[in-house]
Amino acid sequence: MSVVVWIHPRDLDPPHGLDLVHGSDLHRCLALFEAFERDGFDRQRPALIAYPQSGRIQLLSGTHRHQAALWADLALPVVFWLRSSIEEAFGNLDHWLEVMREIPVVTLETWTRADLYQAGRAKAPHDQIAPGKASGLAP
């Protein structure tokens, strides 16, 4: 089973607000919206990172992608972590970087949860770890 789950953005809470009246937030969201409308979600881009909180899904990344996906009515790829893992990562830069790694969706779709954890322990860039290799599984 893949570590990626595709979820509609109305079921996700973004990590922070955006200024959608003017400025760079608006322009970035509009550009993403146009790309989503034209091409869907680019699976070469990283998934959003999230954890469950109070019956909702709290995002740690992807505020602009979240807003653009709302406008486009498009599900987003999400990788879940336990809230306890997120809390443990606060204040520990190595652990935080492991949680927040930007691994392309196309790669994550072939991974199991064990692959994700093993890749974090390997401390190697994601583009050097083949799917299935992180846990010793054959591709």
What is residue 129's DSSP assignment?
S
pLDDT band at residue 13 using 50, 70 and 90 as cut-offs: very high
Residue 18 resides in a domain:
yes
Residue 135 resides in a domain:
no
Residue 96 resides in a domain:
yes
Query: CB 77: neighbour CB atoms within 10 A?
Result: 23
Residue 138 resides in a domain:
no
The label of the residue with tokens 């881009």 reads 45
Q: Residue 131: pLDDT above 70?
A: no
Residue 93 resides in a domain:
yes
Find the helix packing angle between 24-39 and 63-72, rounded to 10°.
50
The segment with the largest mean pLDDT, out of 15-19, 83-87, 98-102, is: 15-19
Residue 136 resides in a domain:
no
Count of domains observed in the chain: 1
Close Cβ partners of 5 (under 8 Å, ≥ 6 residues apart): 77, 78, 79, 80
Domain coverage including residue 25: 4-128
pLDDT at 135 (0 to 100): 36
Residue 102 resides in a domain:
yes
Query: CB 111: neighbour CB atoms within 10 A?
Result: 24
Q: What is the CATH number of the domain that holds 98?
A: 3.90.1530.10
pLDDT digits (tens, 9 = 90+) for 52-91: 988 899 999 899 999 999 999 999 999 988 888 888 888 8
What average pLDDT does the chain have? Answer: 82
Task: Report the alpha-carbon distance of residue 124 to residue 74 in Å, rounded.
Answer: 32
- CA trace torsion 28, 34, 37, 40 (10° rounding): -50
Residue 134 resides in a domain:
no
pLDDT band at residue 122 using 50, 70 and 90 as cut-offs: low
